[in-house]
Amino acid sequence: MNRETELRLIREALALKEKGETQYHETTQTHQIERYVSENWFQREKETLFLGSPLAIGLAIEVPNIGDYRSIETVNGLSLLMVRGQDDQVRVFANACRHRNARLVATGESGCRKRFSCPYHAWTYDSEGALVGAPDFERGFSDMDKKQLGLIEFHSRVVEGVVFVHLNLEQQVPEDILAEEMIKGFEYLNLARLRIYKRRSYIVKANWKILTEGGIEAYHFNVAHRNTLAPFFLGNLSTWETWGGLNMRMVLPKKPLLEAHKLAESEWDLRQMANIIYSIAPAMLFLAQPDNISMIKMTPLNPGETRIEEVLLVEAPKAGGEDWSEQELTMHETNHNLVNKILSEDWVLGETIQANMESGAVSQIHFGRFESALTWFHHEYEKAIGLTSTGDLIDTIVSS
């Protein structure tokens, strides 16, 4: 974001604080719980949001050097192989040998290689996906062309450091996948030039939308996070904006905002006065704090389970070189564990919500006027999966 936008966001938060208000929706909203528990609903989500639309799968800095790779789990058990080739371009392949479809590397594995050799029959590929070797190929596969047996490559695009892929092989990732204001926001955060500190991967027994909802409202801070987040924030105060679809930016003001009136505007710093959240469709969040950013990626496994990947992004060592100082390492480790502690407070609640929904004890969920980002999210979500305002398609999904 540019300086004008940064100042505008601070002024908006200050104005709401002075009024004792937050960002409201016109009305409350109620939904049936089928969207969280129905297998038919879940299949519709996968077809439209995860398999039928461009998907953010990670960051180019996860494979910073030529030959670096990372295996990434997506929906339907599809394993992807993100690789930085010898030409310094990031590509995304199916993690599947073209011979008998064995996985080339284990899911979640990362490293650096010039070649990927299948553990089954040693068919071998280069970092651009070409088949460069196969034992006895000329004798056993004499009527096949090696050039046609390279790794299956999905169309991908890197936008300000974020790697997008389309899992439909016939579709492209559009150039305008992100709005200009969102790109400027990632430039402001220096996202493409940060370093990976550490990552975690685990499964939460809750629907991915429940987990997303907890990340885009502040109504629960004073209760669910009373000993972690709440002492540093301004209660149920937040602002947000969107530029179409399920992409948005949220500002969560902190107590240093209250000192803004003592400072000249030239001294205002949004990173010090608030946490900033960027949400990328369908299920990736960036949580920006003053000295780090957490990437939180959600991969739905079924209606009631979601794989979470937490990645802590930090600046390069202040002294230069590859190694952080002991002081920097202590700070990064503290932040890495603190973020996980705070997220876990939400995840535990999310699992109880999911369990109650699946039990049949409840049938509806309600969003208040000050949970306006949740109302927006579900409105855009319904459009993205092709629901109508009459509810006809909702009935079809539930009963099919």
pLDDT confidence band for 218 (50 / 70 / 90): very high
pLDDT (0 to 100) of residue 389: 54
Local structure of 281: helix, strand or coil: coil
Identical topology for domains 3-52+193-399 and 55-165:
no
pLDDT (0 to 100) of residue 22: 87
Domain residue extents for the chain: 3-52+193-399, 55-165
Local structure of 19: helix, strand or coil: helix
pLDDT confidence band for 400 (50 / 70 / 90): very low
Question: Based on the number of CB atoms within 10 Å of its own CB, is 281 exposed (0-12), middle (13-18) or buried (19 or more)?
Answer: buried
In the predicted structure, residue 294 carries a pLDDT above the cut 60: yes
3-52+193-399: CATH number: 3.90.380.10
Cα–Cα distances (Å) from 176 to 135, 172, 243, in that order, read 44, 11, 12
Say if domain 55-165 classifies as CATH 3.40.50.720. no
CA–CA gap between residue 329 and residue 313 (Å, rounded): 13
**Do residues 308 and 297 make contact, with C-beta atoms less than 8 angstroms apart?**
yes
Query: ∠25-34-372 over CA atoms, to 5°?
Result: 10
pLDDT (0 to 100) of residue 162: 97
CA–CA gap between residue 82 and residue 156 (Å, rounded): 10
CA–CA gap between residue 37 and residue 358 (Å, rounded): 6
Q: What pTM was estimated for this model as a whole? A: 0.93
Percent of the chain scoring above 90 in pLDDT: 93
Query: ∠93-202-118 over CA atoms, to 5°?
Result: 30
In the predicted structure, residue 396 carries a pLDDT above the cut 90: no
